[in-house]
Structure 1
Amino acid sequence: MSSDPSGGSAMIVLYKGRTFERAASVPLSGMVVAALESHLPALQSPARLSVRLRFLARPDPRVIEGPPVLHNLRSQIGQIHVEIGSQGRPIVREVFSVRSLLGPLLLRTVSQLDPRAEVWGFCLEHPRLDRYDLHRPTPPVEGSMEIDLRDTRPGLTVSTVEADPVPLAVPDDFGIDPARVGRVGILLGHELRERLATMPLSSRLEEGGFLLGRPHRLAPSDGTPPGQERYLLEVSAITPAEHSGASVSHFTFTGDSFRELNRRLTESERDEQLVGWYHTHLFSGRKSGLSSIDVDMHHGTFRQPWQVAALINLTSEERLLRFYRWADQEMRECAVWVGDERGRYRFAGTSLDYAA
């Protein structure tokens, strides 16, 4: 069987798990022929089939529902023009969507590779497609509606829910110097610190999620102006966001991401609340900070003065973790204390380095 997909050999690359680590690759032309088997006559020599494939940049963003769930990570290429012939005679000449052509066969393939894996991704790979980044499409939010807060007509009203009061904390109880706290100081427990060092993180798509824990308010000193309170933030858990979108340079929450988190918090017996969010940066330098999009998202969504943004810069050799808080119309780095097995804390500066 010969193949000429606009020059070179095209493949389908399969990625397993929520971190989308590369698992396998198969020739695209062979998968196309297998998917169209019912269209093809019985041939004495299938090897004489000629296959020409042309990629069409027509988006096909929807997830292929399983189980398992299968994400098209290069969904900008959503259609393929297929020409199959034998001995100079055309048999198939038609345009197919990637989802309808390959979806059923890919679902069977990944289920055979690992029946336990619930999430997979795939992409078409060819030199001419290198300019298209991999991405996980942001899923649509069911039952949503747009609200213009500037609309003063009678009808639906929106009001702010008062937050629970933040309990007072005594820095000595944690073994830390209050002079180093700044506006928000981070207390990172031993178990979570170890998990951040070892948790799987994708090197192809940005990842993100939520930080859980407990805020504590430091007693104000004489002359502390209103709005300048200081906080200690115990960060005790990290949970990846469900129903999110991602690419090599962006991560997107949806309303369903927060709905699922709220359900988990409601059902949990642990005394935790949403204290912030995290995401990764890829290929942007070891010490690149939050982007303007990150800052706008934090300021518009995480409104409590003690809520923070954690940034994990990934390189091939290490990961660098920093926490940021909103103050004076900008994001600033937080001081971090790390816990030990005895529950005491030591000052770690404003960043933590982990070997990748």
Structure 2
Amino acid sequence: MTLEVELYRAGADVPERRLPLPKLLKAVLASELRGVGAEPVFMLSFESVPGPEFYPGPPRLSYRDRHFGHVTVIVQVEDHVVYRHPHSVNGLLGPVLAEVAKSIDPDEQSWTFRIDSPVFEDSPGLRMPPEVRGSMDVDVARSSRLSFGVRPAREPEVPTFDAAASGLPAELGHHPVSVLLSPDVKRLLERDLPLSEHVEEGGFLFGKVYRRPEAPDHHVVLVEHVLPAEHSGASLMHFTFTGDSFRTMRRVLAERHPDDQLVGWYHTHLFAPKGPFGLSETDVALHRATFRRPWQIAGLINIHDNRRHLRCYAGSETSMRVCPLWSRDDDSEQYRRAPSALGHQ
């Protein structure tokens, strides 16, 4: 059975055009399929996770089955998988459908589309976050008129880093944040930490932070402990912390690691890293809203074909940059500069 995409003018009940989905996918993936001689076979796995509301165009396109808003596209040529990557449906089909819509009527600025397929079944790769109860929003600007006060917490003092005593070279370069992984953390993130291949996973990173004496606004972050998040929501394309996740984190930090700080977080992407592609816009928004100290890091673990690829990021209000990674083994006191990313296969 060949799936078709129905393209509608906004508000219309009858499709303006019906297009074979394989033909559209060939156009979308033309660069990836260049030089492939045999006919590609497309396999699609839709996820019951809402996608973007629309593709901005022009013209603007809205996907009618937005509840199933993400899809993993696998392309097989003969016996080889030549492409595997998750997409939002709007992001995947929007550009090519916009061109079709413009060819039909360049003056029509709003279209919708749907995929004519059997009824979607709920995806097993979905974990909904627990229902939040007893929460409230607090307007800090109005705190003087509330029955309680709100004021910023005092920032903990950051000690100076002693490069010689740490086993690191004195010159770390001009990176705002350098990341040191203890041997236990290196093993966990690269290999031993159980991680799903069906939904994104994530959690918290504990350790210590130091400022560099030659550049006080530059920091060294030592990651010593990993805590998988509880009470989180997840899917193939999405990971969510909840208030309960942070309550559990704070309790564990106070009870088990009272000398450490929350130095950041980590989560997984269930596809191979491609070029500079790293944190998504959603990841960056979460980091900037929740992990606001300039030295707090975001660890990203790409999982693909039983391989893991680890990068760490830190940033400001305007950018997120890859941090240099340093690690050492149990039998070594010297940290070694890792490649741009650590990996295990």
Tell me the percent identity.
40
1:297 aligns with 2:286: yes
**Separation in 2, partners of 1:307, 1:265:** 16
Q: C-alpha displacement at 1:171, in angstroms?
A: 1.5
Q: Match for residue 91 of structure 1?
A: none
* Residues in 1 aligned to 2:165 and 2:174: alpha-carbon distance in whole angstroms: 14
Partners of 1:181 and 1:346 in 2: CA distance: 17
Partner of 1:316: 305
In 2, Cα distance between the equivalents of 1:299 and 1:172? 32
Deviation at 1:159, TM superposition (A): 1.5
1:242 to 190, 209, 230: 230
Counterparts of residues 1-356 of structure 1 (less than 5 Å): 128-129=119-120, 132=123, 134-151=125-142, 154-155=145-146, 156-177=148-169, 178-180=171-173, 182-196=175-189, 197-221=191-215, 229-269=217-257, 271-283=259-271, 285-287=273-275, 288-327=277-316, 329-341=318-330, 342-355=332-345
Tell me how far apart the structure 2 counterparts of residues 247 and 301 of structure 1 sit (CA, whole Å).
20
Equivalent residue number for residue 13 of structure 1: none
Q: TM-score w.r.t. structure 1 length? A: 0.59
Question: Per-residue deviation at 1:201?
Answer: 0.8
For 1:149 and 1:133, how far apart are their aligned partners in 2? 40
**Shift in CA distance, 325/146, structure 1 to aligned 2, threshold 3 Å:** same
Cα–Cα, structure 1 residues 344 and 270, in superposed 2: closer, same or farther, change >3 Å? farther
Q: Deviations over 1:87-136 (max 9, x none)?
A: xxxxxxxxxxxxxxxxxxxxxxxxxxxxxxxxxxxxxxxx8545747311
Q: CA deviation at 1:350?
A: 2.6
TM-score (norm 2): 0.61
Q: Secondary structure at the match of 2:246?
A: helix
Q: RMSD of the TM alignment (CA)?
A: 2.4
SS at match of 1:205: coil
Letter of the aligned partner of 2:341 in structure 1? S
Q: C-alpha displacement at 1:157, in angstroms?
A: 3.4
Deviation at 1:271, TM superposition (A): 2.2
Q: Distance in 1 between matches of 2:198 and 2:119?
A: 19
Three-state SS of the structure 2 residue aligned to 1:229 is: strand
Shift of 1:220: 3.2
Map of 1:86 onto structure 2: none
Q: How many residues align?
A: 226
In 2, Cα distance between equivalents of 1:269 and 1:208: 19
Residue 199 of structure 1 and its aligned partner are, at CA, apart by 1.6
Contact 1:245 1:251 in 2 (8 A): yes
Does the 8 Å contact 1:324/1:332 carry over to 2? Answer: yes
Give the partner amino acid of 1:211.
L
Alignment check: 8 A CA contact 1:181 1:232 kept: no
1:133 to 1:289, Cα distance in 2 relative to 1, 3 A: farther
- The 3-state SS of whatever aligns with 1:172 is helix
How far 1:272 sits from its partner (Å)? 1.6
Q: Could you say which structure has the larger radius of gyration?
A: 1
Contact kept? 2:273, 2:309, Cα under 8 Å: no
Alignment-derived partner of residue 46 in structure 1: none
